[in-house]
Structure 1
């Protein structure tokens, strides 16, 4: 029997995941339909995806959820599908991102202990990162759903954000990437899109991008040596939310006001009790 093409295998995997999500969430979903996706599903990305499954670099769990080697959880930390009332939607950005993760470890030789996938808020929500022994970001990976988005983002960064850190505010993708670069000072940028990887050597003050034929291998930049343990998630900003510091004085004021109200109520209660005792003594 002929082995199905990778694209057909992937489609079957998604359909099975959609059915499992429906079975587990039938009270929230009307059916297990898989919505048609207009996004490119590249054979090179599929090849690396299935290679990652074969070698355990990526593991699948029920509902087309998956783990990478960093921070796995029993139910799968991420999902290839998003559940909706009328079916399931394919999360297109994850396939090229997974493929790049597998490529970094299995082809470019970076030890898995220093490669991170989809980092959390404290690590600036980087799509992918390779970390040095000191916890510094050496390779900053930025994933996009389409190749055309890569050039536009880079051009806008150079036009608008090359001389100063623009800060985190705003949802503009170029501004967000510029902010992450300025914050981490990563020497390498790895743009990731379907079947496309673009590597750059990054210079700062001003920001400048030198195109490279490919991302350097781990041996070329001194990161191939084995590690005794997995590196921790890099803390690239404070753990408290941006609003935390603003809220604290108000919370303190509210707490003080509440304390004053309690003290006043207790004083009134004590005074009333003394009055009652005096009256009772007088009657006696």
Structure 2
């Protein structure tokens, strides 16, 4: 079950080959267990569980395959097990309420914006073909996912206060920028790259080529003054410091995908 990470991955274009599962794997490996990090865990994991328990979302992402649907419940179990010790501390939960409220508001914005981006893609056949590789099952997944989350997106847009907050303070591309910035940083360390790819020059170059494309995308986005202003104000909702991710944190084969996927 990929939930919010699917939406982020679809709309940023960053680390497209990593996929949502890869992002989730890194997240779980690099969890921030500081008091603030635990607050972010509670909000993010609760939101993921809500999506994992949404039959329409599950059907969209699994194509109605019962075995794949069971995976979403396995994810729920993993996340609940991670949260249970945090929830057992009432003082921590009470102290987390302001952070959770902000995180939930930002998450609503991200999901609404992601659905808007997804609908824009679905309205452009060329974009649909590129994203889905003209696979009818993938096209069906995107359409069902959009329909499953459309009501929530409309509710956000209908609320003038929330819509204003989203427009001025939240943009899914800000998360993509953090990921791409770290990607570029990792690609600048030749010694680490050679060690990670066992001196395979082709794989190292693929990674560097991907980082170069990421840098180009970053340069283009940073020319957008409004986006730069939004990213400067956007609250962090992730229980992980993206800047702390190293090549060794990437699952096997992911580094190559990162290099090829930009």
- Length-normalised TM-score, structure 2: 0.28
Structure having the higher helix fraction is 2
Bigger CA radius of gyration: 1
Structure having the higher strand fraction is 1
- Length-normalised TM-score, structure 1: 0.26
